[in-house]
Structure formats: C-alpha cells, structure tokens
Amino acid sequence: MHSNHILPTRIYYTIFGILMFCTYLTVQIAVFDLGALNTIAALAIAVFKATLVILFFMHVKYSTPLTWAVVLGSVFWFGIMIALTMSDYLTRAWQTFG
Amino acid sequence: MLPEAVHPHHHPALAHHFDDLGQQQEAATLGMWVFLVTEVLFFGGLFLVYSVYRIWYHDAFVAASHELDITLGTINTAVLITSSLTMALAVHAAQLGQRRLLMIFLVATMILGTVFLGIKAVEYYDKFVHHHIPGRTFAFEPRAQARHAQIFFSLYFAMTGLHALHMIIGLGIMSVMLWLSWRGAISAEYYIPIEISGLYWHFVDIVWIFLFPLLYLIGRHA
C-alpha cells in the first residue's frame, strides 16, 4: 500500500486557475446587494476553494480511508461546535413567547 | 547486532518500527492530519465567536469591515494561493528527486509568504494611523457603533494575527526544508518532510480562504 501517487503538474496548474477565478468571482459578487445570499455565496465559494486545496494540493483524494476519516472528522466536530453553540445564541430571542 | 545486519538494504531514513518507507509515509501523513484537526478546532473557535458577534452586532460589523482595504486583501489572497501552487510544485519536484527544482520552488514559496506578511504589515500600519487598534486610543465613526466596532477589530487582529503567526512558523519550517534539500537529505524515495510541511502550508492557506470573505467581503455592498 504505497501511496506514492505522482500527479501531473497540469492538475496543479488547473486547480490554481480555478482558485484564482473563484477569488475573482467572490470579490465581484460582494459588490452586489443580494441580502442573505451574499454571505451564503461567499461561504459556498470558500468551501469549494478549500475542498479543492484539500483534495488536490493536499493529496487527500489519493490518500488512505483512514486519512479520509480524520479529515471528515475535523469537519464533523467543527459542525457540532457550530450547531450546538448557535442553537443557544440564535434562539435567545425566542424566550419571551406565550 | 548492527541494524545493517538485520536489514541489509534499507533506506537510511527508514525508522525501524515501520515495514517500509510507504508505511512510514502513511503514518506521518496521518499524524500530520491529526494535528491539523486540532488546528481546525483551534481556528474554528475564533470563527464561531466571530459569527455570533457578527449576527448580534450586524450593523457595526458591516461598518467596521468597510475600513478594511479590499484591494490589499484580494492581492494577498492571490499571493497566498500562488504560494500554495509553488508548494504543491515543490512536493512534486521532491517526488521526482529533482533537487534543484525543489529548492527553487521552496524559495519561491518563502518569497510569496514574505510578500503576504509585508502587505499585512502595511494594512496593520494603516489601522494604527486610523486609531483602529482596540484599546484606549480606539476611535470609530459613527461613535454610537464604536463599542461594537472595537469588538470587530479585536477579532480582526486576533484572527489575522494568529494566521500571520502560522505564516511565520511556516517560513521557519520551509527554511529547515530548504536546508534538508541543500544537504541532499530529500530524494524520490524519501520526501516525507516536504510532503507534511506542504500539508501545513496548504492548511494555513485554507484558513485565509475563509478569513478573506468573512472579514473583508460580506456586507461590502451596503
């Protein structure tokens, strides 16, 4: 099980091009008032860029299932932290019902 | 008995508790990722605090984020993405045992990292000039939003400062990698140090990929 995948440099240049285009895109979108969509679009583009970096620059696409589990685990635990904290802070205004 | 007698032809960098360099590399990669998980949660805490305050003090945070220089932020994003490319190409050169190319790309990565820190320093200087450093001399217009804007700038300096500290550590790591490459310690069979240093560098890039839109971009139009 030697994970010695050598990718052609063409892949790195392609990913670089996509990352640069996404940076241009996210700056252009920020100028328009789209309401809540501004934040959603900015975060969606950031998640997409981060995913490309993780999969190709960091070679996770070609890594062992154990590495995949650790990477997804970080996202999962971060998700728990966000979800549980926000379930408190975002619902405090609700306490005066009834 | 000498180790050479037990394993007559093994690579000098192979640690004895591993069967081969492939297994050693998988263990090193996994270990680095476990460290990066702790880093995700470390920075994650700050992103979480920022999100909560941003929702609570939305208007002040939007006003304060307008004080950031979007042009310098965009240039720095491009600089950091380019440094990730040169880092990936450095790992690629290491995999092929191209020592000269490896060193060129490591130096390129370090130069781009230094440019990033330089631009960041220019931005910090501008904040000093405009009294946007949290503390007794903090000033912000409109004054009604000053208290909450100060929270924005506290988080701005905490997050970008911690990121810059990671960049400085990254430059130190790259210096060691350059020295290892110079000595000829890196080869096509053994390039683990370059690979996991690259993981660190790319991670720091990812942190900035999130910092840039959250601090500079969202709420920009208003």
The pLDDT value given to residue B154: 97
Whether residue A68 sits in one domain with residue A57: no
Q: Is the pLDDT of residue A2 over 50?
A: no
Domain count, chain A: 2
The pLDDT value given to residue B7: 57
Rounded Cα gap, residues A18 and A10, in angstroms:
12
Residue of B26, B52, B74 lying closest to A27 (CB–CB) = B74
Rounded Cα gap, residues B77 and B136, in angstroms:
32
The two three-digit tokens of residue B162, written as one number: 């911690």
CA atoms within 13 A on the CB side of B172: 6
Rounded Cα gap, residues B116 and B118, in angstroms:
5
Cα distance from B199 to chain A (closest Cα, Å)?
6
The two three-digit tokens of residue A20, written as one number: 């640069």
User: Three-class SS of residue B108?
Assistant: helix
Tell me the pLDDT of chain B averaged across its residues: 93
pLDDT in tens, B75-94: 999 999 999 999 999 999 99
In this complex, is the C-beta atom of A18 within 8 Å of any C-beta atom belonging to chain B? no
Task: Please check whether residue B201 is in contact with residue B87, taking contact to mean a CB–CB distance below 8 angstroms.
Answer: yes
pLDDT in tens, B168-211: 999 999 999 999 999 999 999 999 999 999 999 999 999 999 99
User: What single-letter amino acid sits at B186?
Assistant: I
Residue A22 structural domain: 1-63
Rounded Cα gap, residues B182 and B102, in angstroms:
10
Whether residue A8 sits in one domain with residue A25: yes
Whether residue A70 sits in one domain with residue A23: no
The two three-digit tokens of residue B11, written as one number: 């690579």
Whether residue A70 sits in one domain with residue A28: no
CA-wise closest residue to A3 among B195, B22, B30: B22
CATH number of B39-217: 1.20.120.80
Residues with Cβ < 8 Å from A14, sequence gap 6 or more? Answer: none
> What end-to-end distance do the CA atoms of chain B give, in Å?
74
Q: Is the pLDDT of residue B6 over 60?
A: no
Rounded Cα gap, residues B211 and A49, in angstroms:
13
Whether residue A79 sits in one domain with residue A47: no
Task: Check whether the bond before B142 is cis (ω within 30° of 0).
Answer: yes
| Chain A residues inside the 8 Å CB shell of B78 | 20, 23
Mean pLDDT of A77-91: 93
Whether residue A37 sits in one domain with residue A21: yes
Q: Is the pLDDT of residue B3 over 80?
A: no
Whether residue A74 sits in one domain with residue A44: no
In this complex, is the C-beta atom of A88 within 8 Å of any C-beta atom belonging to chain B? no
Whether residue A69 sits in one domain with residue A91: yes
Q: Do B25 and A4 touch (CB under 8 A)?
A: yes
pLDDT in tens, B130-148: 999 999 999 998 899 999 9
The pLDDT value given to residue A95: 66
Per-residue pLDDT band for A96 (boundaries 50, 70, 90) equals low
Q: Is the pLDDT of residue B36 over 50?
A: yes
Rounded Cα gap, residues B176 and B174, in angstroms:
5
CA-wise closest residue to B86 among B58, B116, B66: B116
Whether residue A87 sits in one domain with residue A58: no
> What dihedral angle (degrees, nearest 10) is formed by the CA atoms of B68, B52, A51, A20?
-10
Whether residue A44 sits in one domain with residue A23: yes
Rounded Cα gap, residues B183 and B12, in angstroms:
14
The two three-digit tokens of residue B211, written as one number: 């910092």
Q: Is the pLDDT of residue A54 over 60?
A: yes
Does the interface ipTM go beyond 0.95?
no
Whether residue A44 sits in one domain with residue A5: yes
User: What single-letter amino acid sits at B121?
Assistant: A
| Chain B residues inside the 8 Å CB shell of A57 | 84-85, 87-88, 198, 202, 205
Q: Which residue of A has its CA nearest to B79?
A: A20
